[in-house]
Each structure stands twice: as C-alpha cells, then as structure tokens.
C-alpha cells in the first residue's frame, strides 16, 4: 500500500489541481494533525481514497454531529483501531499540555489513560488476525525520539512505552519541525518500530 501522510502545514505541491497526477498511485492518506479540515477534505475528494486522521493541539474537539468539528468524508482515528486492506492502524491525537484549559492537550499521565481504550482492540486484533499493530498514527512524537526540549513539543512517555510494548511496524507523527538543526533525522528506530516524522508530508510504501 502506498500512503501519503500529511501534518501541520498545508503544502502547495499537494493542495493543487495536479495532486491527482502527482499522487496517482496513493491508496491511503493519513493526517497527523494541525491541518485545516478543508485541506483533508480536498485530499479525500481529489484522490478518492480513504483518509484517516488524528487531531492536533490546534484542532477543535471532534464531534460527529457537527460538520465544523470534523473533516467530512474522512475517518477519525483518535483512540480507534481500523483495518484497511489487511493493514491495521491505531490513532492517538493531541500534544503535551502547555496551556491551561486548551483542547487536545494532555498531561503525561492523561495520555496513559487515553491509551487504555485501545488495549482491548489490540488484543482482539491479535486474536482475530494473529497480527500485531502495523501503524500507530499520532500527532506528537514519543518522548526522547524526534521531540524538542520546549514544553509544547515534548514527546509522550506513554507513546514510547506503548511502542516498546506493542511494537508497531511504523509510528507516524507530526507536531515537530524535523529540519531544525537540533533535531534528529525524520526517520528513527525505536526498538522494532520505525518512527517517522511526516511534516509536512511523506509518501511511503507499506507491505
């Protein structure tokens, strides 16, 4: 499966009438947060493929009955597990809390709590398909991998522990501008998992 992953910044190479020609072989789009819903809706319409997304810390609170609080035609992946063409995806949105009373921001302990609803779904995935998780999709990186030293861009310890325990093949995230000189390259290894910073977009093939 060829995947187009996007995050944090609208890219004119994608938000273009030529997107179908440039990405004609893409079979799935993944949004890693902090993108206008109009951008995601454009992609799902223009490419005519499924689009999974998680919220970033600048996105509104999701509500299935309010069109302004969701990307129409797209699949909200936060705290969910979805299988597409035999590949399993789990999602977890948001960033570390750095401002009081802001939505989609969580303490380190709150992120552990938010991961709990995924556990029975992952167990069922293993029982039903004898497969571990293929791709974890988040907005923020795991702590100590691709994160920065300021409060807003600190990674989550819960995500690091989750990756070490469930060993997804890939972890896709945004939130951090990887080209800053003090940050790691966009692809790093954490145990058995390739951690991929997709900012602002990345095309990848998953078997």
Which stretch of DSSP H or E encloses residue 14?
Answer: none
Find the mean pLDDT for residues 188-206.
Answer: 95
Q: What is the CATH number of the domain that holds 174?
A: 3.60.21.10
CB-CB contact of 43 with 26 (8 Å) = no
pLDDT at 163: 97
Distance of CA 178 to the CA centre of its chain: 15
Structural domain of 184: 2-205
pLDDT at 183: 56
Handedness of CA 39, 41, 45, 47 (dihedral sign): positive
> Is the preceding peptide bond at 147 cis, omega within 30 degrees of 0?
no
Q: How confident is the model at residue 69 (pLDDT cuts 50, 70, 90)?
A: confident
Residue whose pair of structure tokens reads 């020609």 in the numeric block: 21
User: DSSP letter string over 50-112?
Assistant: -EEE---TTSPPP-TT-GGGS-TTSEE-BT-EEEETTEEEEEE--EE--STT-TTEE-HHHHH
Handedness of CA 108, 109, 113, 119 (dihedral sign): positive
196, two tokens: 């991929």
Tens of pLDDT along 171-185?
Answer: 999 999 865 545 567
User: DSSP letter string over 125-180?
Assistant: HHHHHS----EEEESSPBTTSS--SSGGGPPBHHHHHHHHHH--SEEEE-SS-TTS
pLDDT beyond 50 at 170? yes
Q: What are phi and psi of 127, to 5 degrees?
A: -65, -40
Residues whose CB is less than 8 angstroms from the CB of residue 33 and which lie 6 or more positions away in sequence, other chains included: 7, 8, 53, 54, 55, 56, 57, 58, 59, 93, 94, 139, 174, 175
Please state the pTM of the whole predicted model. Answer: 0.94
DSSP letter for 181, please.
T
Q: Which of 59-68, 96-105, 133-142, 146-155 has the lowest average pLDDT?
A: 59-68
**Could you give the CA distance from residue 142 to residue 161 in angstroms, rounded to a whole number?**
8
Tens of pLDDT along 151-168?
Answer: 889 999 999 999 999 999
Mean pLDDT computed over every residue of the chain: 93
Q: What are phi and psi of 120, to 5 degrees?
A: -60, -30
**Total structural domains within the chain:** 1
């Amino acid at each position: 499966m060829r995947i187009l992953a996007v995050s944090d910044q609208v890219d004119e190479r994608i938000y273009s009438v030529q997107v179908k020609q440039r990405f004609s072989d893409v079979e799935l789009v993944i949004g890693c947060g902090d993108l206008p819903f109009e951008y995601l809706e454009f992609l799902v319409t223009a490419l005519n493929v499924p689009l999974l997304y998680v919220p970033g810390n600048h996105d509104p609170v999701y509500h299935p009955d309010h069109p302004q609080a969701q990307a129409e035609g797209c699949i909200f992946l936060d705290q969910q597990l979805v299988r597409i063409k035999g590949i399993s995806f789990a999602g977890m949105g948001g960033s570390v809390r750095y401002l009081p009373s802001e939505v989609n921001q969580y303490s380190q302990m709150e992120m552990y709590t938010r991961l709990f609803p995924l556990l029975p779904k992952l167990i069922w995935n293993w029982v039903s398909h004898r497969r571990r998780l293929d791709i974890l999709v988040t907005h923020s990186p795991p702590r100590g991998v691709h994160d920065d030293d300021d409060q807003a861009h600190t990674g989550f310890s819960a995500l690091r522990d989750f990756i070490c325990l469930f060993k997804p093949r890939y972890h896709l995230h945004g939130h951090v501008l990887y080209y800053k000189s003090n940050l790691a390259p966009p692809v790093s290894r954490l145990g058995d998992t390739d951690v991929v910073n997709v900012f602002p977009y990345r095309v990848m093939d998953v078997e």
